[in-house]
């Protein structure tokens, strides 16, 4: 079966179109000035003046204002800017866990957000990372590019270990346009996830963190002696599973999630928890209602 049809079939497209309709209703009445910038020169709508500075283009001097006040003022106009949406998908080996897998959930969320952004005429680029940048789809604009996005996401596979900080740094290095960065990951990173998020903040992106989680292991009833294998490093650990071990495991997962959410809150980064067992539409709608993705 064609991979695109497998992951992004007709039913999926119908769900995306419904989400797009809902998104337009959410946007109605919202102040669109958030996406406007004052620029020198010709534009859509006159906004303001500012004092002339040596080196400014004399073509944009307001000679009428100069005649009235003897002040050299430049005309500023408001231009509505494209929103650049950068979708960064964790493609490390740990993302292959879950039913459906965390990786498939991340891809569906990325496809949904990309669809909405493209339909709103924003620019969308996608990067798949693990311990490095593994694949990159250049930024495109317009609904006609959605199937290119689907094909790119369909062709991805979970890869190696995780080093989000290095991968994210290489993703945004040298980027001319900042915009929004949506990081989709389970954030199981032995190097720590903090620097990856800090890097996005430092580079003046508007980051959104979506933590992909699998709740099934926290409810398992498996008991007895087992050998645990780290899917990324290959290291093994002999363990005896008991109610106490299960409780400690659940506590550690909860702590990991709470620490990530607190770190995001402290750094003014929007955080969402996305269980693989939850319909992807629910996560997307929560993100819409938070008001940061739709502008």
User: Residue 26: inside a domain, yes or no?
Assistant: no
DSSP 187-229: ---TT-SHHHHHHHHHTT-EEEEEEEE--GGGG----EEEEEE
Domain count, the chain: 2
| Average pLDDT of the segment spanning 251-261 | 95
Q: Are residues 74 and 135 in the same domain?
A: no
The domain boundary residue, chosen from 80, 98, 116: 80
Task: Report whether pLDDT(267) > 90.
Answer: yes
Q: What is the pLDDT of residue 64?
A: 83
Q: Are residues 87 and 69 in the same domain?
A: no
Query: In 31-96, which residue ranges form alpha helices assigned H by DSSP?
Result: 63-69
Q: Residue 111 belongs to what domain range?
A: 3-16+82-290
Is the model more confident about 49 or about 276?
A: 276
- 91: closest CA among 150, 140, 149, 136? 136
User: Residue 295: inside a domain, yes or no?
Assistant: no
Q: What is the pLDDT of residues 4-42, one digit of tens each?
A: 657 788 889 899 999 988 887 776 544 443 444 444 445
Question: Residue 286 belongs to what H/E stretch?
Answer: helix 280-290
What is the CATH classification number for the domain harbouring 181?
3.40.50.410
Q: Are residues 53 and 147 in the same domain?
A: no
Q: Are residues 116 and 52 in the same domain?
A: no
Q: What is the pLDDT of residue 276?
A: 96
Give buried/exposed letters for 81-119 (b at 16+ CB in 10 A, else e).
ebbbbbbbbbbbbbbbbbeebbbbbbbbbbbbbbbbbbb
DSSP code of residue 61: B
| Average pLDDT of the segment spanning 152-167 | 93
Q: Are residues 196 and 224 in the same domain?
A: yes
């Amino acid at each position: 079966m064609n991979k695109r049809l497998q992951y992004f079939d007709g039913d999926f497209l119908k769900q995306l179109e419904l989400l797009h309709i809902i998104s337009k209703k959410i946007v109605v009445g919202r102040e669109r000035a958030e996406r406007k910038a004052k620029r020198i020169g010709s534009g859509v709508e006159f906004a303001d003046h500012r004092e002339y500075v040596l080196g400014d283009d004399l073509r944009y001097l307001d000679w009428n204002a100069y005649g009235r006040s003897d002040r050299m003022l430049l005309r500023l106009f408001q231009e509505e800017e494209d929103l650049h949406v950068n979708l960064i998908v964790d493609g490390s080996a740990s993302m292959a866990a879950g039913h459906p897998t965390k990786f498939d959930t991340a891809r569906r969320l990325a496809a949904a957000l990309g669809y909405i952004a493209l339909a709103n005429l924003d620019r969308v680029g996608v990067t798949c990372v693990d311990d490095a940048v593994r694949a990159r789809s250049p930024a495109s604009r317009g609904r006609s590019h959605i199937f290119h996005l689907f094909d790119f996401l369909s062709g991805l596979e979970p890869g190696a270990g995780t080093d989000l900080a290095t991968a994210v740094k290489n993703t945004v290095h040298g980027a001319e346009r900042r915009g929004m960065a949506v990081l989709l990951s389970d954030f199981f990173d032995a190097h720590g996830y903090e620097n990856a998020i800090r890097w996005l903040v430092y580079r003046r992106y508007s980051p959104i963190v979506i933590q992909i989680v699998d709740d099934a292991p926290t409810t398992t009833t498996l008991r007895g002696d087992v050998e645990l294998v780290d899917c990324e490093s290959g290291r093994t650990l002999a363990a005896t599973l008991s109610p106490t071990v299960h409780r400690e495991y659940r506590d550690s997962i909860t702590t990991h999630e709470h620490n990530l959410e607190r770190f995001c809150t402290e750094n003014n980064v929007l955080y969402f928890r996305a269980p693989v067992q939850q319909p992807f539409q629910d996560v997307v709608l929560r993100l819409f209602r938070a008001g940061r993705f739709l502008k």
